[in-house]
Structure 1
């Protein structure tokens, strides 16, 4: 038994918690590199399609290879590592604390990245330095001669210097040893709470390569786009959805999904398709199921564009503003664009005071649950790449079919994949036709129920 194996057995709860963190963010059957792979348990736990672990200890690498023959392990320093392969995820579990030259190692990390690669780092909260040194003195923790005690700001700065940007962060674990009753109470229920969370031992960062501006400009010109328009009792707005639509990228298709309307919305969609079919690529269909979320997923299934956009057919969000969403995603500046109606002045007719307060509450709650700052969680305009939508859909089993609206399903899925989520300001105006399909009190209760569900699946796992 190696020293590392012995210390893992002695502090198994801590190592298993680290593994659970990485399992949450790393999608199975991905190509994964772990720098500082140690015993190999973490790399194996994320179930990669191809997994490569590097470590400086040849004996540890030999044991890891025997233990997990389906994975690959190299004896290599992070500062000298060179690979001609690009990975979906790169893991550094407390590795930055041991590196001799962090910047040189990050140069090599960046070379192993694709534009979509997520780099996930864990490190100790510097506030725990005295406690951990005491644990080492009492022989409850492995002896380490030198250690980098880095703050979140230190690591963020080092990442930025090498062209990498932080897109997510968090803290977890108050009690690293499995003490009966206290372990679950402190780590599951108390550790995620505001203020108390600052005291946690483990800090984590999700980072990615900063987008290439020149490549982003090309993508804005060359990417195609699908605009999905769910429509129920919106006959008077259908034509404007087309006539006010900007050209987005190389090609824009508009997909209307009619949802069991009581007016002549379906007939109007057919008329508009016939009238503008030579100018626009318009696809139409009638909804098979119920609810906006179902209509959005049906539209996404029909879409062929590189970028997928949801536009509510009430046109309270201006179609002209969709260009800002498209550019943000196509350029790579963000990976999930969330419409925000609370930057520009909002007419009280468009959003009454009570609705605005409820919106701010749910935005705060979601920001807390997802560890991402969101100012407006209820805007119907959401935009992401088709590639990332397919990844969210493939990973949907984690949350299940819980969202009748479709907005939260996408937000939760994006957060679990570690996508960079960013608010895009929109101008919000009163509707010019029809009345809202929203039942505010009833749907507010549904939203609250979904948030509580998310709390169990994300924050208080």
Structure 2
């Protein structure tokens, strides 16, 4: 009997046997069948992967896109360790239910740690040291996991605030084709599968204490055909409607947040300014105290109206406030903001435009959102409340609405007003975004897009927060070249599409 036929017959017999046992013993029996099945195919596992090399290249590319290099990574249902090796962790640990599979993983990846355990049983916790945490957890195969909810719950002690859980599964629409591929020998046969939809996975994640952030879908054609495969998998698979037909789905989630106490956190309010002398003292008076301490950092971008001197005067006038002056490079707003961020010492970074068109009195709302864990990146939105006549031109209003639609698609999270100056994030997340600056293919003169792109790349939870927008009292707007600025934003959209949608 051919090996493929023998395996398919064994799988069929196992499914028939499952009907003879009821209750919890039936679930345990299913676990044992899955483990025994994996043991039978273990020696040929690498050959199956080689046979479907193109599919695994697509999956590997997505994982490298989602997982930062040199991080602590746990791979649950790690197989022979191939996916763990792809992401280049500083510390890699793999868990699988089959000792034969784990032995092969150890041989192929001696620098990583591998353990045998069922992810949906209590023994799973015994595989880890007390307080052992990971930056990323890859749950490679929930299709044959018996108790998916318990398996997800077992992950919570291993997570921190920034940990991201990546759950990989097949699209249930592909069940007939996958079954045919197993029958024809193109794919390794599996035991009975759960075939969960993304809605099912999101629901299970929520019940287990996680929040699903985004779903990435890949593979419209799992076999390589010159030109056609690249067109379908690199372009068509990223389109809003066609993506729902993709074979493989990766749901990215974070653990439900535990609120921080605001009085234990510090805040840095970064105020980029150029020729805003008349707004300096008003900004200092109106910025409220935030957290255990608040620093106000004026980043003067080589003003010619005496803005820097005004900051020094106000600094002496309000000695009880922590006011600092940093000198920007005089190139563009984004470089000026980065100067302030790099000088900041607070736990939370906040941008407040020096024109004070978004009112400083609303900054505590941003603090409340980020310390409660509702978001990790809070983006102000000027397009919710009524905008006073003269505060924003009609062309700017139309442009903002168009780009809100474009960036919502690019980021995978709703963003209504990309160019609102008020943005808030954790300083620790800024340190992760910083290496990406300048990598998007075109210069971002304002800094809003690089922050949003970086937050999306890290799968941070982004939330819009409405702000009241008012006319400026002193000085003139810097956003005067509407057509030219619109072209720059279109270039940012294009490069964002290349990086965030076609980058894997």
Deviation at 1:401, TM superposition (A): 7.3
| 1:175 is the counterpart of 2:221 | yes
Secondary structure of the equivalent of 1:87?
Answer: coil
- Corresponding residue number in structure 2 for 1:432: 473
Of 67, 72, 77, the residue aligned with 1:26 is 67
- Corresponding residue number in structure 2 for 1:332: 373
Of 267, 273, 293, the residue aligned with 2:309 is 267
> Structure 1 residues 374, 127: closer, same or farther in 2, change over 3 A?
same
- Corresponding residue number in structure 1 for 2:266: 224
TM-score by length of 2: 0.88
Separation in structure 2 between the aligned mates of residue 375 and residue 2 of structure 1, nearest angstrom: 53
- Corresponding residue number in structure 2 for 1:391: 432
Structure 2 unaligned regions, length at least 5: 1-41
Q: Work out whether residues 170 and 371 of structure 1, in 8 Å CA contact, stay in contact via their aligned partners in 2.
A: no
Of 249-258 and 285-294, the range deviating more from structure 2? 285-294
- Corresponding residue number in structure 1 for 2:84: 43
Separation in structure 2 between the aligned mates of residue 242 and residue 400 of structure 1, nearest angstrom: 37
Separation in structure 2 between the aligned mates of residue 116 and residue 285 of structure 1, nearest angstrom: 30
- Corresponding residue number in structure 2 for 1:236: 278
Secondary structure of the equivalent of 1:114?
Answer: coil
Output one character per residue of 1:344-372: Cα deviation in whole Å (capped at 9) or x when no partner: 11123112222111111111111111211
| 1:346 is the counterpart of 2:392 | no
- Corresponding residue number in structure 2 for 1:298: 339
Output one character per residue of 1:251-281: Cα deviation in whole Å (capped at 9) or x when no partner: 00000011122322222222111211x2210
Separation in structure 2 between the aligned mates of residue 151 and residue 3 of structure 1, nearest angstrom: 29
Of 157, 167, 188, the residue aligned with 2:203 is 157
- Corresponding residue number in structure 1 for 2:32: none
Deviation at 1:184, TM superposition (A): 0.5
Output one character per residue of 1:44-97: Cα deviation in whole Å (capped at 9) or x when no partner: 11111100001112111111111111111111111131123111110012x111
- Corresponding residue number in structure 2 for 1:120: 166
Separation in structure 1 between the aligned mates of residue 424 and residue 164 of structure 2, nearest angstrom: 20
How do residues 336-415 of structure 1 correspond to structure 2 at under 5 angstroms?
Answer: 336-396=377-437, 398-399=439-440, 402-415=443-456
Q: Work out whether residues 235 and 265 of structure 1, in 8 Å CA contact, stay in contact via their aligned partners in 2.
A: yes
Deviation at 1:137, TM superposition (A): 2.1
Separation in structure 1 between the aligned mates of residue 437 and residue 487 of structure 2, nearest angstrom: 22
Which stretches of structure 1, 4 residues or more, deviate above 6 A after TM superposition? Answer: none
| 1:445 is the counterpart of 2:487 | yes
> Structure 1 residues 372, 336: closer, same or farther in 2, change over 3 A?
same
Q: Work out whether residues 442 and 495 of structure 2, in 8 Å CA contact, stay in contact via their aligned partners in 1.
A: no
- Corresponding residue number in structure 2 for 1:286: 327
TM-score by length of 1: 0.96
Deviation at 1:116, TM superposition (A): 1.6
Q: Work out whether residues 269 and 297 of structure 2, in 8 Å CA contact, stay in contact via their aligned partners in 1.
A: yes
Q: How many residues align?
A: 455
Aligned-pair RMSD on alpha carbons?
1.5
Of 153, 161, 186, the residue aligned with 1:107 is 153
Separation in structure 2 between the aligned mates of residue 41 and residue 253 of structure 1, nearest angstrom: 47
Of 176, 179, 185, the residue aligned with 1:133 is 179
Separation in structure 2 between the aligned mates of residue 397 and residue 376 of structure 1, nearest angstrom: 22
Deviation at 1:289, TM superposition (A): 4.2
- Corresponding residue number in structure 2 for 1:184: 230
Q: Work out whether residues 442 and 491 of structure 2, in 8 Å CA contact, stay in contact via their aligned partners in 1.
A: no
Output one character per residue of 1:96-129: Cα deviation in whole Å (capped at 9) or x when no partner: 1110011111121111111221101121112212
Secondary structure of the equivalent of 1:96?
Answer: coil
Output one character per residue of 1:405-440: Cα deviation in whole Å (capped at 9) or x when no partner: 111111111111111111111111111111111122
Deviation at 1:141, TM superposition (A): 1.5
Structure 1 unaligned regions, length at least 5: none
- Corresponding residue number in structure 2 for 1:148: 194
Separation in structure 2 between the aligned mates of residue 115 and residue 401 of structure 1, nearest angstrom: 32
| 1:454 is the counterpart of 2:500 | no
- Corresponding residue number in structure 1 for 2:142: 96
Q: Work out whether residues 30 and 50 of structure 1, in 8 Å CA contact, stay in contact via their aligned partners in 2.
A: yes
